[in-house]
Amino acid sequence: MQRSRVCVSVLFLALSVHFSSSQTYVLDDKGGLGRLFDGIGGLSGGGVTEFLSLSLFFFFYQMKTTCQPYRSQILDYLFKPNFGASLHILKVEIGGDAQTTDGTEPSHMHYENDENYFRGYEWWLMKEAKKRNPNITLIGLPWAFPAWVGRGKNWPYDYPDITASYVVNWILGAKQYHNLDIQYVGIWNERKYDIKYIKVLRNMLDKVGLSGVGIIAADGDWSIANSMISDHALNDCVEVIGAHYPGTTTVADALKTQKKLWSSEDYSTFNDEVGGGCWARILNQNYVNGNMTATISWNLVASYYEELPFGREGLMTAKEPWSGNYVVESPIWITAHTTQFTQPGWTYLRTVGHLAGGGSYVALTDGKGNLTVVIETMTHDHSVCIRPPLPPFHVTSQNATFQLNGSFASIKELQVWRSQFNFKTKTPSLFEKLKPLKLIDGSFTLNLSEDEVYTFTTMTTGQKGVYPDPPAPAGFPKAYKDDFNVRNPPFSEAPHFADQTGVFEYYINLTDPGPHTFTLRQVVTERPVTWVADADQTISVIGDYQWQNLTVTCDVFMESVDSGGVFIAARVNKGGESVRSANGVFFWVFADGTYKVTNDLAGQTVLAEGLSGTRAYGWNTLSLTVNGQLASGQLNGYPLWKNAVVLNPKNGWAAIGTRSFELAQFDNFAVVAD
């Protein structure tokens, strides 16, 4: 049915180029071109937003060859040219050991005299992206910093040389250990910029041979532009002004700097069809309204527990490593409308703008005769992003004639790709290849409906990549255990644990040649420098948020004499930026020989307490059972407390953690849920 409509439409185009109600839009390069296009990208950051299905997913399945294809498939949909999203840019968090939205990412320098460029999964992700697209642009940005960088303050700029050295080491390590060339580096995610620091960073980059690494500032609003206008030295240091969630608009001062303008973090919207509509609108209008030549999605892929903040706000969804299920959401195909038919280095035409009946169009050229035109007619209610608020506007069905002039006048045929969201019928048709369009005298006319995206292009390389359906979704295994016995782990984290504060890493315990040689260790001993309020405790969650009745067991080892404390927990109901107020059932033991059971992570609501005999530097086995409104705990196989009344929460994750930023080890973790 759709194909028949296309044939009729093409015939109409040829015969009705002067249809009276059609608005004409001229695409021309006679008067010069617009700004250079820098690309469309995705962002892996904000605290382990890809930890389930882009890193630990693959480790968990490394020995299960039947599951290996899903790893490659997900990455292909994101990065493989002419296949899926075909992203031009990958921006990653420079881990800082701190909660930064949905969890913590480990630093390459936990301490001043400590360097390790194999922690976390961002290195691996960048290499996988490079395998698929050797030309992809790589960007690093700190969200947080280890405590030593701030020298006791929650601020990284008092000692700019130290902070700059820390960031430069990350860039050098990327090259030395992973052969990754970082093209851009940011300042500090969504925090006030510091002019002195930016100058110090630029100077240090130049001194170590990284003059080609551009600085993006300030990864917040546009306010740095005013400082750049009045400070020529600062202006020379900054290559890109990056704004977050700019609402498709810029400011006059930013334009005056004549710098590249990017939406260096955008989208951040639930990835249903309205989310796809949001993405379609801003990809065009960030340039039409704001002269922004790159747009980067937070986040790359929703691979974190959905109940964490901003659940399912990725270009696609891949959050079940235990089942192998993933979903190619609409933003993947909306991205393809631009990325598969352009490349960084192409140039926008000056003749871009809004359609008379609502919507927008952009046109880009490679300067070699190729042309790509992207048109969107997204309506207000079907293109709302999470932020900023979207002012009212109206879109209606319309006829639009496009006249190709200048060097494009001789184009006789354009390839056509279309997405129709079909909100009324709820049967979207995404990234569909239509019959090539024959032009008459460089002109073609469209009948544009609401909530559509079109690409018209001379490029013939587009493809809607497809793989067999992945396995069906399934809940987290009701019986799960991990002994952490991995001699050479590919990642520093253990599968499925989502660190919310602190950093839990694989560890070789050389002081115990017995059953606890390989453990999981919490390694952060000071509160990091972060713009998100970390809890006073450290905690890593795991499992199914819907768990109600379960038993959690784990061997624990405290390394802080007298002040040490560790816990296991069930029904933990909050994470991410809200982790400080998490409730659940927390079974604590302390190095002073006591225990406590609390209804909250902060330890304020006490359900039971007493003597435990526990001490530092000795292994103990904790077991916590929650059934209905009653909870009981065992220490080393013997009942320590029982029948504590738990009214709320009714469900939540399992967890492990410590009562402060302190060293502690965990082994033989197990959970069994009803």
Tell me which residues are annotated as active site: 190, 265
Residue 236, class by beta-carbon neighbours within 10 Å (0-12 exposed, 13-18 middle, 19+ buried)? exposed
Query: How would DSSP label each residue in 220-247?
Result: E-STHHHHHHH-HHHHHH-SEEEEES-T
* CB-based contact 603:620 (threshold 8 Å): no
3-state secondary structure of 403: strand
In DSSP terms, 433 is beta-bridged to 417
Task: Give dist(CA 69, CA 264) in Å, integer.
Answer: 31
CA-based nearest residue to 398, from 7, 26, 19, 6: 19
Q: CA angle, corner 615, sides to 614 and 619, nearest 5?
A: 80
- What is the residue-wise DSSP string for 97-161? SSB-SS-B---S-SSTT---TTSSSHHHHHHHHHHH-TT-EEEEEESEE-HHHHTTSS-SSSSHH
Cβ 459 vs Cβ 341: under 8 Å: yes
Report the chain's C-alpha Rg in angstroms.
27
Is 286 exposed, middle or buried, given 0-12, 13-18 or 19+ CB atoms closer than 10 A? buried
Nearest to 286 by CA among 331, 332, 313, 246: 246
Q: Which helix (H) or strand (E) holds 626?
A: strand 619-627
> H/E element holding 177?
helix 160-178
CA 453/CA 334 separation, integer angstroms: 8
488-525 b/e (C-beta count within 10 Å ≥ 16 → b): ebebbbbbbbbbbbbbbbbbebeebeeebbbbbbbbbb
Tell me how far apart the alpha carbons of residues 378 and 387 are, in angstroms, rounded to a whole number.
17
